[in-house]
Chain A
Amino acid sequence: MKLLITVIIYALFIAYLLGAVLYFIGNKSGKKQALSTASLMVKIGLVLNIAALIVRTMIAGRLPLANSGEFTLWFTVVTVALYLYYEAKAKMREAGGAVMLISALLVGSIIVLMKGQLGEATPLMPALKSPWLTIHVLTAAVAYACFALAAGLAIMQLAKAETKITDEIIHRIVAGGFVMLSLTIVFGAVWAEQAWGSYWSWDPKETWALITWIIYALYLHLHRRLGWKGKTASKMVIAGFVLVLFTFFGVNYLLSGLHSYA
């Protein structure tokens, strides 16, 4: 089992990375063949990602919602699923390279930073034994995934002179992510009130989630009410995702607090 999950994670990394490279090549050269192979790689990757979650569930003997390796698998599986939905609906493959590169790097971070987290059976600590764990972690994964997809689109929009990626589609994805992040924070607060006896304690994870929430709140106000569009707006979406990554990695590895689980 331990070997199996290691193999799946490496294969997953390769599938996402190959997908990213093929998207970049295909978009640059305009070769349809490369683009459809890229899409296929991503679909294979998605199956591997789901398989990784299933195998991890079997190893851990519980739903994989606790440590950062487990969360990363949810983060990428939702990002890629959302991307594929977007690709099918918008009939556009422009953003594939950026989104898949983000996903590949996230899986890469499991290999580099979270070694051994997925191979061992680790029971939940008492604080995590709550129905809120599932809700809080899954809403966070969806929120982060929306922000990853939005950032991927924004990067491509900035990088290209001519693009079909509109501010409106980026805005809608960010809005979805913002709703999910808001729910994550409130559910987390309700849970913290039960588990730690305080719904808000300025724990680093809470603080940085709030900072992330603030930057997207600014974006939404500026976009909806002041009509900010184009490059400035896209830069904010990318900055927001940098904050998402800091809230996830930076807080885990640089600042310690109540959320230190792995």
Chain B
Amino acid sequence: MEILKKVYRYLSSMKTGLVLLVLVGSAAAVGSAFLPDVFFNTWLFKLLLIILSVNMVLCTANRFILLKSRLKKNRNKWFREIGNLLLHAGIVFILAGLLVYAFYGQNGQIAIRTGDTVDVSQIIALKEPFSLRLDDFKVEYNEDGSPSQYNSYVTVLESGITKDDAVISVNHPLNYRGVKFYQQSYGYLIKTKYTNDTGSEVEELIKEGNFIKPEGTERTVKVFRYIPNFDPNHGMVTKTMRPDNPRIIFSVYEDKQLIGVGAAQFDERVEIDENVYVVFPAVEPYTILKVKSDPGLPLAFWGGGMFMIGVTMALLAAPSQGKKTESIDSNREMR
């Protein structure tokens, strides 16, 4: 029993909390400098956060139990005390929200082409499945050619029936039954017209970087990249994102040896070999959305609110008089 009491006292003390804070801070510093991609997902770091949460729960609970007697001693301090309580409880709520996300949260990514429908339950587990159709994808530009907004026009469908439609853009996610969709990225598929190895003329949508093998030649063509605003001085990088001078960069290989690179305009007939032509009539955009469901979000949200109100009440309130007696007091309570 004595040992248990000791352990409890140690785990619930503010000093332990401060030591844990130092550990979390130092670990985060080292992690962000040397292992930014993996460190924060390691068990070591998560364990540290969990121990810190336990310490804060106990420490705050102790404070709460003692609150009444302390307020009796000094009635003027209630504003600050409540603030303190709210602020610590808020942090615990936030950490709890993170924990819920770690166990029950789901996230994924979907790429949808205009006109296509994606079953969202293929990406994350859903109780009542629904799908998302991309009706249109539009990029808006500033005067200087930089992108000003990316818009995905979507329709939500449940067993084929339209339930909702929305425009998802950066800073404006769609929330449908607790599943959130965020505009994350986009890309282009390159429409390519050529005669394939079965002899029929086809028009295919080719992913950037993929190869095609036209009939009548030993050569292969790599459909390398779509450049919206081509400028030879910028090389393989677009000058701006606005399609002011769109080109398709392609390269031709023979026996795995690169024999040529070109920048084709839309609809330009490119001669790959004698009488073998490839045409790139257009590009077709697709949108990339982040899909997320986070049952811990309300916890974190309310925690954040409590934390902000608490920290303001605790610290901006006028400092109480008679500092000395207070610090002796708190020393005793804290052990």
Contacts and interface: CB of A to CB of B under 8 A. Distances in A.
A182 B40 contact: no
A199 B300 contact: yes
B304 A123 contact: no
Interface size bracket, A side: 35 or more
A195 B25 contact: no
A190 B36 contact: no
Given A123-B144, A214-B24, A190 B304 contact: yes
A126 B184 contact: no
Contact of B170 (A178, A182, A189, A195): A195
A217 interface: yes
A178 B315 contact: yes
Interface string A59-99: 00000000000000000000000000000000000000000
Interface residues of B, number: 48
B171 A130 contact: yes
Contacts, number: 116
Interface on chain B toward A: helix, strand, loop, or mixed SS? helix
A197 B292 contact: yes
Q: Of residues A123, A126, A183, A186, which shows the largest number of chain B Cβ atoms within 10 Å of its Cβ?
A: A126
B224 to A, nearest CB: 26
B316 A175 contact: yes
A168 B321 CA distance: 12
Interface string B291-334: 01000010011001001100110011001000000010011001
B330 A197 contact: no
A123 B144 CA distance: 8
Interface stretch (A47-55, A110-118, A153-161, A203-211): A203-211
Nearest to B139: A126
Interface string A141-179: 000000000000000000000000000100110011011
A221 B290 CA distance: 40
A194 B169 CA distance: 10
Nearest to A222: B18
Interface string A213-243: 0110110111011110000000000000000
A176 B318 CA distance: 11
B146 interface: yes
B142 interface: yes
Interface of B: 14, 18, 21-22, 24-25, 28-29, 31-33, 36, 40, 98, 107, 142-144, 146-150, 169-173, 180, 182, 184, 290, 292, 297, 300-301, 304, 307-308, 311-312, 315-316, 319, 327, 330-331, 334
Given A186-B308, A190-B304, 10 more contacts: A121-B144, A126-B171, A127-B170, A194-B171, A197-B292, A211-B28, A217-B21, A218-B22, A226-B331, A227-B331
13 contacts: A123-B143, A123-B146, A127-B170, A127-B171, A130-B171, A179-B315, A194-B171, A197-B184, A207-B40, A210-B28, A214-B21, A225-B327, A226-B330
